[in-house]
């Protein structure tokens, strides 16, 4: 593989969108090296990205991925790294038929009705938060708004008792940062926490997703095995929390960056908010890269034959800003862009398309609506100093210091 200064190179951490745009125009498929040393291929253009997201020759089977990653890391001289923690036995890291089975079981418990019931709960949480935030003092919209709200929702959904939620935050952060010094211990603690939660819900089922997943076999021939149940809870906590926090943070930042026009527009026209959130999902996608896939049989993308055992990432933000699909102004935020023309890949595509899209959208829409209504004169501070989070997969801001004003 040829080396590139593009993806995961030094300027990727300061301006990932610019690097993604540049790499996409350079080639449809580029070689890159992840910070942990793993060599990968990155697919950059919309048509290829959409095809790859739904290509059965690109496997997401957890065992096959772990084996291939270990092999690639060894070949690159990093033999001692163990990637297995990330790739649990759950729906995101499975191929059919296991994927079909796990997705069906998850959908059986994760019903539209359950998601709908969360909206009034979420509106109350957001209203409480707004009522308790100080005016005219610096508030960080990431750590005080974008992160705690989705964590509270996912805990509500899973049935995590209120007093057990706060200690989960540092654990989730440590796992997401994937720091070899802290992530394994955090991961062990979270396994312990979920094991206890499952035990508790077995004895005393409630009206929550964990209880529903335990009892999902009611009248069904199938059932989640213990490790699959644990893996699913891990996935839901991570997939449902970090992603949504980024969507809320990226949308707040995009709007407050231009408070005279954009923030005012959503204050005066809240009916535009669903459109705005979708446009941010496209323009500043909360998930930069779709998760790892391993080539199961030779497959050609962008004129390059990818070989079995090689790892593929799909750059959602490059694909979502591809002028071939979204026109010459694809790299600009257009709050009036018609969402029905969008067909962006912010929630993935095909077999592994996000199961929480409705929930994530609802959380972002309600947060923006509540904040724009409550604080029409909010001001984002230190704009030139703002930093992106240093994550290869997730796309968010470290902090958004803001003065709230009514
Ligand atoms: C899958 C994005 C919120 C649960 C995905 C994928 C993306 C994504 C891009 C596909 C990954 C791939 O193909 O490698 C997002 C974004 C969200 C969000 C941008 C924020 C708004 C949520 C929420 C939940 C959730 C709130 C659940 C509570 C899942 C699950 C999958 C998934 C279970 C795996 C589906 C499968 O493999 O069949 N998400 N997600 N997501 N997401 Fe989300």
User: Band of the pLDDT at 85, cuts 50, 70, 90?
Assistant: low
pLDDT of 117 strictly over 60: yes
**Assigned domain for 365 exists:** yes
**Assigned domain for 4 exists:** no
pLDDT of 2 strictly over 50: no
Domain residues for the domain of 346 are 10-403
**Assigned domain for 1 exists:** no
Quick check: 31 and 72 in contact, CB under 8 A? no
State the Cα–Cα distance between residues 23 and 30, nearest whole angstrom: 7
CATH assignment at residue 67:
1.10.630.10
The domain total for the chain is 1
Q: Is 286 in the pocket of ligand 1 (CB under 6 A)?
A: yes
Q: How do residues 316-334 score in pLDDT, each as one tens digit?
A: 999 999 999 999 999 999 9
User: Band of the pLDDT at 220, cuts 50, 70, 90?
Assistant: low
Which of these, 10, 44, 25, lies nearest to 312 by C-alpha position?
44
**Assigned domain for 202 exists:** yes
pTM above 0.90, yes or no: yes
**Assigned domain for 17 exists:** yes
Higher pLDDT, 271 or 163: 271
Q: Is 356 in the pocket of ligand 1 (CB under 6 A)?
A: yes
Q: Is 149 in the pocket of ligand 1 (CB under 6 A)?
A: no
CA nearest ligand 1 atom 26, residue: 240
State the Cα–Cα distance between residues 98 and 211, nearest whole angstrom: 21
Which of these, 307, 278, 322, 279, lies nearest to 49 by C-alpha position?
322
Q: Which atom of ligand 1 is nearest to the CA of 103?
A: 38
Residues in contact with 125: Cβ distance below 8 Å, sequence separation at least 6, in sequence order: 149, 152, 153
- The pLDDT of 120-141, averaged and rounded, is 96
Q: Which atom of ligand 1 is nearest to the CA of 154?
A: 28
State the Cα–Cα distance between residues 251 and 364, nearest whole angstrom: 8
Q: Is 29 in the pocket of ligand 1 (CB under 6 A)?
A: no
Q: Is 291 in the pocket of ligand 1 (CB under 6 A)?
A: yes
- The pLDDT of 64-68, averaged and rounded, is 94
pLDDT of 345 strictly over 70: yes
Among 243, 244, 363, 393, the mutation site with the greatest number of ligand 1 atoms within 8 A of its Cβ is 243
Q: Which atom of ligand 1 is nearest to the CA of 232?
A: 33
How confident is the model at residue 174, as a pLDDT?
81
CA 357 to ligand 1 center in whole angstroms: 7
Q: Is 234 in the pocket of ligand 1 (CB under 6 A)?
A: no
User: Band of the pLDDT at 78, cuts 50, 70, 90?
Assistant: confident
CA nearest ligand 1 atom 41, residue: 356
State the Cα–Cα distance between residues 314 and 340, nearest whole angstrom: 23
**Assigned domain for 372 exists:** yes
Q: Is 244 in the pocket of ligand 1 (CB under 6 A)?
A: yes
pLDDT averaged over the chain?
A: 91
CA nearest ligand 1 atom 34, residue: 92
Q: Is 359 in the pocket of ligand 1 (CB under 6 A)?
A: yes
**Assigned domain for 250 exists:** yes
Q: Is 360 in the pocket of ligand 1 (CB under 6 A)?
A: yes
Residues in contact with 292: Cβ distance below 8 Å, sequence separation at least 6, in sequence order: 40, 60, 65, 69, 87, 311, 312, 313
**Assigned domain for 165 exists:** yes
Task: Count CB neighbours of 285 within 10 A.
Answer: 28
CA 286 to ligand 1 center in whole angstroms: 11
């Amino acid at each position: 593989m040829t080396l590139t200064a593009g993806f995961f190179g030094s300027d990727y951490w300061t301006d990932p969108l610019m690097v993604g745009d540049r790499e996409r125009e350079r080639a449809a498929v580029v070689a890159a090296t992840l910070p942990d040393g793993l060599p990968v291929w990155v697919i950059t253009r919309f048509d290829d990205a959409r095809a790859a997201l739904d290509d059965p020759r690109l496997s997401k089977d957890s065992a096959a991925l772990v084996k291939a990653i270990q092999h690639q890391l060894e070949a690159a001289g990093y033999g001692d790294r163990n990637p297995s923690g990330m790739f649990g036995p759950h729906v995101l890291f499975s191929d059919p038929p296991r994927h079909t089975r796990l997705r069906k079981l998850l959908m059986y418990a994760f019903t539209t009705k359950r998601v709908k019931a969360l909206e009034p709960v979420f509106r109350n949480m957001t209203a409480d938060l707004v009522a308790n935030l100080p005016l005219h003092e610096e508030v960080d919209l990431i750590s005080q708004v974008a992160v705690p709200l989705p964590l509270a929702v996912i805990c509500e959904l899973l049935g995590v008792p209120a007093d057990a939620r706060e200690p989960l935050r540092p654990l989730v952060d440590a796992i997401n940062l994937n720091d070899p010094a802290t992530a394994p211990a955090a991961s062990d603690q979270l396994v312990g926490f979920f094991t206890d939660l499952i035990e508790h819900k077995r004895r005393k089922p409630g009206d929550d997703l964990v209880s529903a997943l335990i009892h999902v076999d009611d009248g069904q021939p199938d059932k989640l095995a213990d490790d699959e149940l644990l893996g699913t809870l891990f996935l839901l906590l991570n997939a449902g929390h970090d992603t949504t926090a980024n969507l809320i943070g990226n949308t707040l930042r995009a709007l407050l960056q231009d408070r005279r026009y954009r923030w005012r527009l959503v204050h005066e026209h809240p009916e535009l908010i669903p459109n705005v959130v979708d446009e941010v999902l496209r323009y500043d996608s909360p998930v930069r890269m779709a998760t790892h896939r391993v080539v199961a049989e030779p497959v050609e993308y962008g004129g390059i034959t990818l070989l079995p055992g090689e790892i593929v990432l799909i750059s959602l933000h490059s694909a979502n800003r591809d002028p071939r699909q979204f026109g010459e102004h694809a790299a600009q935020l257009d709050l009036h862009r018609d969402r029905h023309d969008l067909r962006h890949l912010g929630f993935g595509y095909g077999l592994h398309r996000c199961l929480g899209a409705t929930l994530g959208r609802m959380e972002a829409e309600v947060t923006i609506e509540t904040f724009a209504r409550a604080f029409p004169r909010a001001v984002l501070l230190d704009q030139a100093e703002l930093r992106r989070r240093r994550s290869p997969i997730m796309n968010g801001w470290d902090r958004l210091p803001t003065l709230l004003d009514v």
